[in-house]
Amino acid sequence: MRKLLNTLYITDESAYLSLDNDNFICKIADKERLRIPFDNIENIVCFNYVGCSPALMGKCVEKTIPINFVSPHGKFLAKVYGETKGNVFLRIFQIDKFRLDGINLAQNTLAAKFSNSIKLIKWSLRDNSDLRNNEDIADVLKILHSGVEKVFDAQTLDELLGIEGFCAKNYFSIFGKLITNPKSMFKFSYRTKRPPLDPINAVLSFVYTLYTSEFSSALETVGLDSYIGFCHTLRSGRNSLSCDLVEEVRAVAERFVLTLFNLQILSEKDFDVQVSGAVFLNSDGRKKVITH
């Protein structure tokens, strides 16, 4: 359990959360391990299976503190949140804005995503001279630069998503080359999501989930509807607008993941391999990622 800025992460799967007056209580094996005032918390992310008391959930609703329930494997499950902030006219404007200017917003978002991906690759080239003459990386940089230009010529969302898919496929085809520490035992071949099939994909999915949760809380704090987006398809239960905003900062998350592996902060002991072949961070691995 570690507090980062205004978000409290509960990483122990056996933790139980409860309320004592105006204090947040975390117990493990019936022993109190954490007690902090509610005023110190703005967001809670739980990776525990035991759950929390109704009184705690009621207090969080009253204080408009969201509780995000995420499986120990990093899959978003559910969220408890209080009364919607803002006013109905803001949300109506949000819907009208996305209907009228959705394509323009999506174009800018994807152009920013590709541009930031280019910067990430160039940072790696700057730090590792051996990569500077790699033809595969040079080809991907050309594709990403072309993608920035092509998105503004697209007329429909389907065209934009086609460009995004092509660029993402090529980008991840060279992502493994950015793991440059010769001592690293981890390899990355391609992006796998549900489920992740290797440690690098496991950490990518985990960090993306945390980012999406933070964006959802931030959007709701200012009164915007995190479920109504302009780029990701609207789907019941999905925070489409949060996913839209995460696209622009994916490169930040990916740079962070590369750092974890290049500095050998994570090891094989930080992952669990399932019978199905799925790979997930274990409790120690989650703590390391959240700490850093």
Per-residue pLDDT at 229 = 84
User: How do strand 43-46 and strand 76-80 relate by DSSP bridges?
Assistant: unpaired
272/209 Cα distance (integer angstroms): 18
Per-residue pLDDT at 220 = 76
Per-residue pLDDT at 84 = 62
248/171 Cα distance (integer angstroms): 15
Q: Which amino acid is at 209?
A: T
Q: Averaging pLDDT over each range in 6-20, 65-79, 277-291, which range is the top one?
A: 277-291
Give the residue-averaged pLDDT of 47-68: 79
Domains of the chain: 2-80 (3.100.10.20), 88-291 (1.20.120.920)
16/32 Cα distance (integer angstroms): 9
Radius of gyration from C-alpha coordinates of the chain: 21
Q: What is the pTM of this model?
A: 0.78
Q: Which residue has the higher pLDDT, 77 or 31?
A: 31
In the predicted structure, residue 238 carries a pLDDT above the cut 60: yes
290/206 Cα distance (integer angstroms): 10
Residue 86 pLDDT level (bands cut at 50, 70, 90): low
Give the residue-averaged pLDDT of 106-123: 93
Give the residue-averaged pLDDT of 116-144: 89
Provide the mean pLDDT of the chain. 84
In the predicted structure, residue 3 carries a pLDDT above the cut 60: no
Least confidently predicted of 2-11, 153-162, 179-188, 198-207 = 2-11
**Range 2-5, long-range pairs (CB < 8 A, 24+ positions):** 2/287, 2/290, 2/291, 3/36, 3/40, 3/41, 4/290
In the predicted structure, residue 102 carries a pLDDT above the cut 80: yes
User: Tokens representing 157?
Assistant: 């969302």
241-261 pLDDT, tens digit per residue, is 888 999 999 999 999 999 999
Residue 199 pLDDT level (bands cut at 50, 70, 90): very high
60 — phi, psi (to 5°)? Answer: -65, -40
Scanning the chain, the segments in alpha helix (DSSP H) are 54-62, 88-127, 135-150, 157-173, 199-221, 240-262, 283-291
213-228 pLDDT, tens digit per residue, is 888 877 877 778 888 8
